[in-house]
Amino acid sequence: MSIPVVDFGAYSLDRKDVLLDEPTHSLSQELRKAFVDVGFVFLTNTGVTQEEVDRAMEVSKKFFLQPDELKRPFRRGNFANSPNHGWVSLETESLNPRRPGDLKEAFNSSSLHPDIKWPSGAALGFQEIQTSFFLRCKELSLRVLRVMAHSLGLDPEVFLSAHRFIGCEVVRDVYAQVPEAGDHFHGSPSDVQGRGEVSAPSEVHDHLLGLLHVDKEVVLSAPTLQLFHLLPVVGLVVVSDPSHHSCVIRETSRIRQLGCIAEQSCVSRVNRRGLSTQPWGELVLRVMEEEETSWILTDCGLSVRKSRTQLHRVKLISPSVVSFWTRVCEEMASSVDLFLPICILVRVHSDVDAVLDVGHDQSLEALHDYRGEGYRPIVIQACHCGRFGDGDDHVAVFRQVGTAACWREVLKMSVSTSADENGTTLRSLYYPPVNSEKAKEGQLRCGEHSDYGSITLLFQNNEGLQVRRRSGEFICVPTIPGAILINIADLMQRWTADVFVSVLHRVLLPPAGDSSTRQSLAFFVHPDDEALITCCDGSNKYPPVTAGAYLIKRLSDTYGQG
Ligand SMILES: O=C(O)CCC(=O)C(=O)O
Ligand SMILES: [Fe+2]
């Protein structure tokens, strides 16, 4: 039996609204049959374009074709918080340990953390292209996982809810780790609002966020900057580096298109608690009029600084303020029923220049406009259920939740640590020309193996891949233009108690005398590290395992300890 080809058009990335629909019965059943019988399927009409694939392969090839000394700084193992991220050199890895090292090079993009150093130079645009391809694959994977759940008659969220952190850096609930009460920070007692606040760890007070709150439409000018025309936005962060001017201007005009997030709701919350007497807009306007370089706005716990090159910087100075705002945000978010998912795009550099943008899920689309700018998306997955009533003021609701979400993310960012909590990896593979006389006995381009996670998306530009059938023999996999090969990986087989099968596959050497290269892009989807994988039929066929522990074990089997 060959690999089935299934039309995924009904769930294509081009269709934005589709996640609310039940997958069609025939799509579910075709997918199910492929994953039960073969473990592999070709999906057509996914919405991922050939152009996107070509771009990702092209920039990868430019990276691989460089001399090794230029690639070495990016070696896998060099990234402290992301051990699987980086370059894997030729013959380093034996996916079948009984064979000599695979004749391939790879680059694993496992972390989108803004502090990760990416290849540049010859591979100009590498980070942006890999990141945007990663995010496209992520979106498609989530759709596939949804259809897979449906095909098994399971709750459509069963797989999705264990894949919430693909491509997100860790945002651990650091507050929970910190002891009760007390302000261990600099700042006068008047900064501390309320009682029994949980204090935040020390990273917070060093973390400078440039927040600018504008209540009315205003024009700001500063000595070294052009005019900025800002609409009322909460969470708009002004970049301090003059080289980013145009970026700020573009940003503000985009926010205008998306609609504005007014802070009125925040203000009323603040007032109700007696913590602030003024709308923030006024505070900011006051700041702008003043000539001094620094203020402490004790009534809302923020300090504001102003310098020649920075419009304004607002520093979160007190842990109680941080937790206060977090709580406000959470209350606001939970008090409003909202149907829209919210997407926040954040650009953060280590010197804490940031631009926030809050929008509804169409922002996901807008995300692609940011490819070249190093934006980091934070998508708030947990959208609030319920629908707008007829009489609801949609904009007001959206503003409230957007504001809350925005703040929450800013605050989380300010205390986040830098590890990742989902092992999903976009792996770019390059198989150089092979001199078959020099190849070692039994050596392959990629030895027999099955993948480790939930599913794998594979894009290939040339033949060579083989998949093992149930009967034991290997069959050649064709390349079908525009189609994506998707396979079940080991954790998914466990999860489905062997209903879906994860099968061995390999990449052969080209025939003698054929000096062609091969490239592929494999998107290995993993559940979140903390997700406990138990058989979804309720059986005990496999003991529960956390996805993170399972992945570590599999990687260490492949690469050896360390
Ligand atoms: O390059 C290919 O086509 C296959 C790669 C693969 O299976 C893997 O890296 O897991
Ligand atoms: Fe594989």
Tens digit of pLDDT for each residue in 177-207?
Answer: 222 222 222 222 222 222 222 222 222 222 2
Q: Is the predicted pLDDT of residue 504 greater than 60, yes or no?
A: yes
Q: Quote the CA–CA distance of 26 and 29 in Å, as a whole number.
A: 5
Cα 429 to Cα 61, 103, 173, 268, 446: the distances in Å are 9, 10, 36, 54, 10
The angle formed by the CA atoms of residues 164, 352 and 303, to the nearest 5 degrees, is 110
Pocket test for ligand 1, best of 455, 459, 465, 557 (most atoms within 8 A of CB): 465
Q: Is the predicted pLDDT of residue 76 greater than 90, yes or no?
A: yes
pLDDT range class, residue 313, cuts 50, 70, 90: very low
**What was the pLDDT predicted at 490?**
97
**What was the pLDDT predicted at 379?**
36
* Mean pLDDT, rounded, for 245-251: 25
More confident of the two residues 98 and 238: 98
More confident of the two residues 388 and 404: 404
Q: Quote the CA–CA distance of 145 and 195 in Å, as a whole number.
A: 45
C-alpha of residue 432 to centroid of ligand 1, in Å: 14
* Mean pLDDT, rounded, for 530-547: 92
Q: Is the predicted pLDDT of residue 447 greater than 50, yes or no?
A: yes
* Mean pLDDT, rounded, for 13-23: 76
Helix (H) or strand (E) holding 70: helix 68-71
Q: Quote the CA–CA distance of 386 and 469 in Å, as a whole number.
A: 46
Nearest to 486 by CA among 131, 150, 144, 104: 144
Q: Quote the CA–CA distance of 303 and 209 in Å, as a whole number.
A: 10
Nearest to 74 by CA among 64, 63, 87: 87
**What was the pLDDT predicted at 529?**
86
Q: Quick check: 281 and 214 in contact, CB under 8 A?
A: yes
Nearest to 474 by CA among 497, 499, 446: 446
Nearest ligand to residue 426 Cα: 1
Q: Quote the CA–CA distance of 433 and 201 in Å, as a whole number.
A: 52
Average pLDDT along the chain = 65
Residue 444 near ligand 1, beta carbon < 6 Å: no
Nearest ligand 1 atom, CA 485:
3
Length of the chain: 562
Nearest ligand to residue 521 Cα: 1
* Eight-class DSSP state of 344: E
Backbone angles phi, psi at 514, to 5 degrees: -90, 115
C-alpha of residue 110 to centroid of ligand 2, in Å: 16
Helix (H) or strand (E) holding 382: none
Residue 531 near ligand 1, beta carbon < 6 Å: no
Helix axes 126-151, 50-64, angle to 10 degrees: 130
Q: Quote the CA–CA distance of 16 and 20 in Å, as a whole number.
A: 9
The angle formed by the CA atoms of residues 259, 263 and 264, to the nearest 5 degrees, is 110
Residue 304 near ligand 1, beta carbon < 6 Å: no
Whole-complex ipTM: 0.99
The angle formed by the CA atoms of residues 109, 113 and 119, to the nearest 5 degrees, is 50
Q: Quote the CA–CA distance of 52 and 136 in Å, as a whole number.
A: 9
Q: Which residue has the tokens 């190849």?
A: 439
Nearest ligand 1 atom, CA 506:
7
Q: Which residue has the tokens 């990234």?
A: 79
pLDDT tens digit sequence for 292-303: 222 222 223 333
Any bridge partners for residue 228, and if so which? 220
Nearest ligand to residue 445 Cα: 1
Q: Is the predicted pLDDT of residue 139 greater than 50, yes or no?
A: yes
C-alpha of residue 246 to centroid of ligand 1, in Å: 41
* Mean pLDDT, rounded, for 160-172: 68
**What was the pLDDT predicted at 315?**
33
Record the tokens describing residue 542, joined without a space. 């496999």
Helix axes 25-37, 126-151, angle to 10 degrees: 100
Q: Around 322, how many Cα atoms within 13 Å sit in the side-chain half-sphere?
A: 34
Record the tokens describing residue 101, joined without a space. 């090292």
C-alpha of residue 277 to centroid of ligand 1, in Å: 61
Q: Which residue has the tokens 């945000």?
A: 329
Q: Quote the CA–CA distance of 143 and 68 in Å, as a whole number.
A: 38
Residue 520 near ligand 1, beta carbon < 6 Å: yes
**What was the pLDDT predicted at 323?**
46
* Eight-class DSSP state of 117: -
Q: Is the predicted pLDDT of residue 548 greater than 70, yes or no?
A: yes
* Cut 0.80: pTM above it: no
**What was the pLDDT predicted at 129?**
93
* Mean pLDDT, rounded, for 450-469: 96
Q: Max alpha carbon distance in the chain (Å)?
A: 81
Residue 287 near ligand 1, beta carbon < 6 Å: no
Q: Quote the CA–CA distance of 528 and 422 in Å, as a whole number.
A: 4
**What was the pLDDT predicted at 19?**
64
**What was the pLDDT predicted at 547?**
93
Buried b (16+ CB within 10 A) or exposed e, 321-345: bbbbbbbbbeebbeebebebbbbbb
Find the range with the poorest average confidence among 215-224, 334-343, 532-541: 215-224
Nearest ligand 1 atom, CA 464:
3
* Mean pLDDT, rounded, for 138-161: 92
pLDDT tens digit sequence for 410-431: 444 433 333 457 899 999 999 9
- What residues contact 241, with CB distance under 8 A and at least 6 apart? 309, 351, 353
Find the range with the poorest average confidence among 41-50, 222-231, 476-485: 222-231
Pocket test for ligand 1, best of 76, 96, 428, 458 (most atoms within 8 A of CB): 458
Ligand 1 atom 2, closest CA:
520
Q: Quick check: 502 and 39 in contact, CB under 8 A?
A: yes
Cα 298 to Cα 190, 293, 318, 473: the distances in Å are 6, 16, 10, 73
Ligand 1 atom 10, closest CA:
451
> Which span out of 317-326, 380-389, 447-456 was modeled with the highest average pLDDT?
447-456
Backbone angles phi, psi at 118, to 5 degrees: -110, 155
- What residues contact 51, with CB distance under 8 A and at least 6 apart? none
Q: Quick check: 399 and 192 in contact, CB under 8 A?
A: no
Record the tokens describing residue 151, joined without a space. 């095909």
Nearest ligand to residue 462 Cα: 1
Record the tokens describing residue 11, joined without a space. 């769930």
Q: Quick check: 352 and 209 in contact, CB under 8 A?
A: yes
* Eight-class DSSP state of 295: E
Nearest ligand 1 atom, CA 477:
3
Residue 53 near ligand 1, beta carbon < 6 Å: no
Q: Which residue has the tokens 């980013």?
A: 244
**What was the pLDDT predicted at 560?**
62
Any bridge partners for residue 427, and if so which? 108, 522
Nearest ligand to residue 502 Cα: 2
C-alpha of residue 3 to centroid of ligand 1, in Å: 16
Ligand 1 atom 1, closest CA:
520
C-alpha of residue 159 to centroid of ligand 1, in Å: 23
Nearest to 466 by CA among 95, 106, 122, 216: 95
**What was the pLDDT predicted at 168?**
66
Q: Is the predicted pLDDT of residue 351 greater than 70, yes or no?
A: no
Cα 519 to Cα 124, 339, 420, 433: the distances in Å are 19, 41, 27, 11
Nearest ligand to residue 465 Cα: 1
Residue 103 near ligand 1, beta carbon < 6 Å: no
**What was the pLDDT predicted at 161?**
84
Residue 429 near ligand 1, beta carbon < 6 Å: yes
- What residues contact 212, with CB distance under 8 A and at least 6 apart? 230, 236, 237, 238, 284, 311, 312, 314
Percent share of the chain, pLDDT over 70: 53
